Amino acid sequence: MSLRTVILLVGSAIIVPLIMILASGFGNDPHAIPFVLQGKKLPPLELLSLDGQKISLGGKRTKPIVVNFWSTWCEPCKAEHILLQEAARNLNNKVEFYGVIYQDTPEKTREYLQQKGSEYPHLIDPNSSVAMDFGITGVPETVFISAEGVVLHKHLGVLTPPILFKQLSELVPGGLN
Amino acid sequence: MHATTGNTLILSSVALALAGAILSFSAGRHNSPTGTKWGRWCAYGYAATMVLANLVMVRALLVDDFSVSYVAQVGSRSVPTWVSVVSLWSSLEGSILFWGAILGFYMVGFCKQLENRYPKFVPYANGVLLLNAAFFAIVIAGPANPFQIMDPIPLDGPGPNPLLQNHILMVVHPPLLYLGYVGMSVPFSIAIAALLRGELTSGWLKPLRYWTMIPWTFLTLGIIVGAWWAYEVLGWGGYWAWDPVENASFLPWLAATGYLHSTVVQERKGILKVWTLTSVICAFLLTILGTFMTRSGVFNSVHSFTQSSIGPIFLGFLATTAIFSMALLAMRSHLLEDEGTIESPLSRESAFLLNNLIFVVFTFTVLIGTVYPLITEAIKGVKLSVGEPYFNQMATPIGILMVFLMGIGPVLPWGRPSSKDVIRGLLMPASIGLLGAIMTILLEPSTSTTTLLALGVCTFAATVTAQELINLVRSRRARHLEPLHTSIQKTFASHRRKVGGYIVHFAIIAIVAAIAGNKTWKESVEASLTPGKDFQLGEYTFIYKETVGESHPEKFSILASFEVFHQDSTLGAMQPKLNYYRSQREPIGTPHVRTIGNQDIYLSLLAFEEQGRRVVVKAYIMPMVPWIWWSLPIIMLGSLISLWPRRKSNALHTGVVAT
């Protein structure tokens, strides 16, 4: 094989696929943070709730779960709280809801929940280790996990009724209706 | 006023670059000295207009002229003057404008140096440079125009990315990198000129090495300073994360380093010509790929600029340049046939060839790892990143092998050496390398096998390098009766390239050893403390005193004060910070780093409660990391020695003879 053929063959074998791969990436958001748990089974994660119960988030269970990371110093979280309470009340037999307290004190959270009420347990995450496992970058963030324990989606920012409805419809086998 | 002046200057630079490219190619084709001269003047004109456009932008930033789109995007009335100046390269449009000015400086330097030399080649090289300049000027005039007029005019701007404001190293890191990236255009132009002309004379390849060495030095320094910045700002106790944009700077570095080695063999033995020219061309193409990675929005990275429409333009430029270069290499393949062969696998040329292969493997390893998320997304529809473990797993054996070859290469003679000569040369350095590994395991019995191997190989390579330098001086002293310092000075003067290269080798060995040592012996602990409480890390005790707030026009900082003790003696205060910038929700840390001997004590503030009632910090002991930063002046020294010009009469003589 001549040197010319080698140059053309090797060059084309590198340049053509590389350009095609690079072109396939247009439209991406360069600052989107990849969520490593997406599509994976959640490892066993045990946390204490505000009333001292041990609660595990990982593993197979009978119902899908929604885990909301929030704190009392986050105003958007408070707005979202009302929506989540309503959803938890209406879907009590179909979905489990949990709150995870993010960089906040149990005392302040208890005080807030006493005023506003809560339909589901809120878990204490000392040193934010569970938040780190979930790749939480700020609050509010909400993670949707199937009954098989597979992480389906993470929503960054405040949940609105249409977003929550869409995510829950995908989460509950057979939909919400 | 700034916008109009800026646009006029940019449009002039487009016209000058295009006219200069046409004149230069025409002059090359018709051997016209007048055309060459006019092409050169167009290059000077391009440089002048581009530099002036940059100065206009700096002025607009300094006087807060928010009628200019780029100032409205990155300017702010509340930032210090130095931040206003560095805002020039803080965002996409400004960074390309800055790129244009650096290209102008390189063009002036190149034209001035080769003004009356190599008349057959220079017009082609100028033509290629000017075409490249025209591309960037068109991008600046069109899709990435920083001089658009704002209507309505905002009263204030958000300021540049807070990460850029947080440390003074950001003043030097981007310019150094750009000097590295942009400078690769010159060797590319020289290589393409040789191929277009259809002559590969060794004389013309001399400026090729010189003009690769300059951007290579800047790129090396830029990469190290970038790692230093990450270490001093990001607070995670690391300096390199194999982020796509970091990789974007490392890829051309690998290709250019491959060239600098390959060219030695080409000059000496007339072989590896394809390697040599391909490496130079790839180094340039990889800088364009790097620019694409940073500016297209295709890659996820903290360093990326925002999504923009210029991605397809850069990809088109990359594809066109790559296909054109490949076609040209294929067309001129008859010039690239080797004039000799490798006579023995134990020869120095074999070591160089193996070295080239390693550089190619390393380049592909990093490239594949970087584009992997795009590959999986295209094939499976899911974006999967290979992450740091892949890169570390691959880079460790490659890096060790590279340093091993760095050691073995100089020991092997050229041609067909006897195995006895090879063994004699290797005996002492190999024994010292082995001794280094044994000493390490005696001092630190828990050291992993990989680190032992790495440190042993580093000791071996450092011994060979020192031995070679000593041998150079010794052989001169055997021939001349003169004082030792005169011998050293004259040896350095007469073997600049070799001595400079060996000095740079020392720095690279130090970096590899530091990475290996730090990876193994790094210690860290996270602590949650109330005032007066302490925690222990190694022989150090950290006592938390208090937290205070500091208000600045552009940010608010939270400082946690610690007193640090080494056994019983105090080392004074350490104050890690969290900075809240007006324009960013998440705080940016400033860890406190203190160098003690050859290790750093690194304290990072992670979180705090109101009034400093509790803080969460992470402390690290980072052995050997200072070696990485100490390598900076060594690299500069080695590069300066290597680049230092010979006496003018000699240089001119070489050039004239070669043409």
Angle formed by the axes of helices B496-521 and B484-494, to 10°?
Answer: 100
Which amino acid makes up residue B316?
Answer: G
Gyration radius of chain B over CA positions = 27
Kindly list the distances between the CA atom of residue B245 and the CA atoms of A174, B251, B376, B444, B609, in Å, as whole numbers in the listed order: 44, 10, 19, 36, 35
Residue B643 near residue B213, CB atoms below 8 Å: yes
Alpha-carbon distance of B98 to B51, in angstroms, equals 8
pLDDT at position A176 over 80: no
Of A65-69, B164-168, B285-289, B645-649, the least confident: B645-649
Q: What pLDDT does residue B98 have?
A: 97
pLDDT at position B335 over 60: yes
Of B101-115, B391-405, B548-562, B580-594, the least confident: B580-594
| Nearest of B87, B181, B190, B101 to residue B137 by alpha carbon | B101
Reported as a pLDDT band with limits 50, 70 and 90, residue B606 is confident
Angle formed by the axes of helices B169-183 and B92-113, to 10°?
Answer: 50
Q: What pLDDT does residue B653 have?
A: 43
What mean pLDDT is reported for chain A? 86
Residue B137 near residue B52, CB atoms below 8 Å: no
Q: What share of chain B is helix, strand, coil (3-state, %, to 5)?
A: 65, 10, 20
Q: What pLDDT does residue B307 have?
A: 54
**Tell me: the pLDDT tens digits for B112-123?**
999 888 888 999
H-helix segments, B75-201: 81-86, 92-113, 122-141, 162-165, 169-183, 185-197
Q: What pLDDT does residue B279 have?
A: 94
pLDDT at position B558 over 70: yes
Kindly list the distances between the CA atom of residue B333 and the CA atoms of A109, B124, B320, B339, in Å, as whole numbers in the listed order: 73, 19, 20, 13
What mean pLDDT is reported for chain B? 89
Mutate to test the interface with A, among B315, B337, B374 (most CBs of A within 10 A): B374
B276: which DSSP letter? Answer: H
Q: Do A12 and B528 touch (CB under 8 A)?
A: no
Of B26-40, B78-92, B302-316, B434-448, the least confident: B302-316
Residue B517 near residue B624, CB atoms below 8 Å: yes
The share of chain A scoring above pLDDT 90, in percent, equals 31
Pairing of strands B615-623, B523-529: antiparallel
Calculate mean pLDDT across residues B352-359: 92
Q: Is the ipTM of this complex over 0.90?
A: no
Two structure tokens written together for B413: 């003679």
pTM of the model: 0.83
Decide which of B323 and B299 is more confident.
Answer: B323
Q: How far is B598 from chain A (nearest CA, A)?
A: 31
B 507-566 residues inside an 8 A Cβ radius of A = 526, 528
Two structure tokens written together for A132: 């780190």
Calculate mean pLDDT across residues B296-314: 70
Reported as a pLDDT band with limits 50, 70 and 90, residue B609 is confident
The share of chain B scoring above pLDDT 90, in percent, equals 62
Q: What are phi and psi of B632, to 5 degrees?
A: -55, -55
- Reduced 3-state DSSP string for B370-394: HHHHHHHHHHHCCCCCCHHHHHHHH
Residues of B in contact with A138 (CB under 8 A): 585-586
Q: What pLDDT does residue B658 have?
A: 35
Q: Give me the total of CB pairs closer than 8 Å, taking one residue from chain A and one from chain B.
A: 98
Decide which of B166 and B44 is more confident.
Answer: B44
B 389-428 residues inside an 8 A Cβ radius of A = none
- B315: nearest CB among A22, A39, A103: A22
Q: Does A3 touch chain B (CB under 8 A)?
A: yes
Q: What pLDDT does residue B202 have?
A: 67
Calculate mean pLDDT across residues B604-608: 88
Q: What pLDDT does residue B659 have?
A: 31
pLDDT at position B331 over 70: yes
Q: What pLDDT does residue A31 have?
A: 55
Reported as a pLDDT band with limits 50, 70 and 90, residue B648 is low
Mutate to test the interface with A, among B251, B288, B333 (most CBs of A within 10 A): B333
Q: What are phi and psi of B114, to 5 degrees?
A: -110, 25
Residue B25 near residue B129, CB atoms below 8 Å: no
Alpha-carbon distance of B351 to B354, in angstroms, equals 5
Q: How far is A32 from chain B (nearest CA, A)?
A: 7
